Structure 1
């Protein structure tokens, strides 16, 4: 996925859950929409370099734009927009870059099935697969961690995947790490220990648990390679 018209800035502070105050090279201050409810404490640091997409419409009509990238302490770009992972996975599915799902030519996004709204619903004749995608931004000492903040919604999604699996569908959760410095992925016990227990439970019931990292530059973000999952 390519970024368009990203502009430069520096972090000033996080004003609230969905707004970050930034300043440009001339010292002008402006608010940016943050499409991520995680804590992001290691990334939203005063003085850190950022990139944002200017916008005029919802949901950032009251801000100067939408925050997309932040540099981490090692100088690598991290994509912090939690909406982008679906676009990256969708692009990878269309390009055949996700080897585990190459046999499914039909891809539907945001598909409703009963009480479940799936990020992706794949078909191959009479075979079907359901995929949920989770955004991962937190990496500590090479270990990608999710969630960054407690997520009841994430637990519900795992429950739904297990239910679909019990009904004969192939089901998977993909943790998309929006940076390229992760050596492995594991659930974040410090934030929500029950998430690991639920993930182990649904894997035993047949849900696939996958993780991939991304190549992130100022121009684009692309799925890079699978990352080992440790539960």
Structure 2
């Protein structure tokens, strides 16, 4: 996924009210950008961190700039939670996720479960449908371990239960975690920050829900799904 225009670099002043970030660009311009991330952003919201923003010319937008990348521990981190679905759509079209190839169609936002919409429904006349939920991951607290979530994720737990119901009905169900970092080699659910989700992920896997984790390559020009990394309980 290419960024639509060159990103502007700067420094993070503060992130507040979840969806706002004050930034000083490298040329001295002070601005408030949209922060497309409802999570805690642990380790990624400290004052002074290098960051990059995109700009939109849409006159309907209240904020022209969007916070896209933060540099933490010497590596780039994608914080835009809207990107993983776009990244997965691109990867599916290119056959870049081997475990999810061989389907004739990829439909998005299909209703299922209790008033939910699955991120992708993969279908082929000769195969059971595959229900695919995509989760953004950018938490790293130590070593090269990526963790999810970075705060209580009740909605994500609900999705795991709905995927389990799909498996019980004879369908295929997959939880795909997209790690928008360049410095992680393994993945685990974060028991400390959301023990209910961590238990739920293990229970869903035991019930037959497949867990896939893919890390990204990130530059200030593009982000793309690059390689699978292992997960542990």
Task: Give TM-score, length-normalised by structure 2.
Answer: 0.94
Whether the 8 Å contact between 2:42 and 2:150 is mirrored in structure 1 is no
Q: Structure 1 stretches of 5 or more lacking a match? A: none
Give 1:203's aligned residue.
205
Distance 1:174 1:205 in 2: 16
Give a deviation string over 1:132-168, Cα, whole Å, max 9, x none. 0000011231000000111111111101101111111
Is 1:163 the counterpart of 2:165? The answer is: yes
Give 1:80's aligned residue.
79
Distance 1:169 1:177 in 2: 26
The aligned runs of 1:129-140 (5 Å cut-off) are 129-140=130-141
Distance 1:16 1:56 in 2: 24
Whether the 8 Å contact between 1:30 and 1:64 is mirrored in structure 2 is no
Distance 1:57 1:230 in 2: 43
Is 1:14 the counterpart of 2:19? The answer is: no
Give 1:111's aligned residue.
110
Give a deviation string over 1:153-196, Cα, whole Å, max 9, x none. 11111011011111111000001000121111001112101111
Q: Structure 2 stretches of 5 or more lacking a match? A: none
Whether the 8 Å contact between 1:71 and 1:78 is mirrored in structure 2 is yes
The aligned runs of 1:87-98 (5 Å cut-off) are 87-98=86-97
Q: In the TM superposition, what is the alpha-carbon distance from 1:80 to its structure 2 partner?
A: 0.4
Name the Cα RMSD after superposition: 1.5
Give a deviation string over 1:1-50, Cα, whole Å, max 9, x none. 00122222210011221101101123332111111111113111211111
Whether the 8 Å contact between 2:154 and 2:197 is mirrored in structure 1 is no
Give 1:46's aligned residue.
47
Q: In the TM superposition, what is the alpha-carbon distance from 1:225 to its structure 2 partner?
A: 0.6
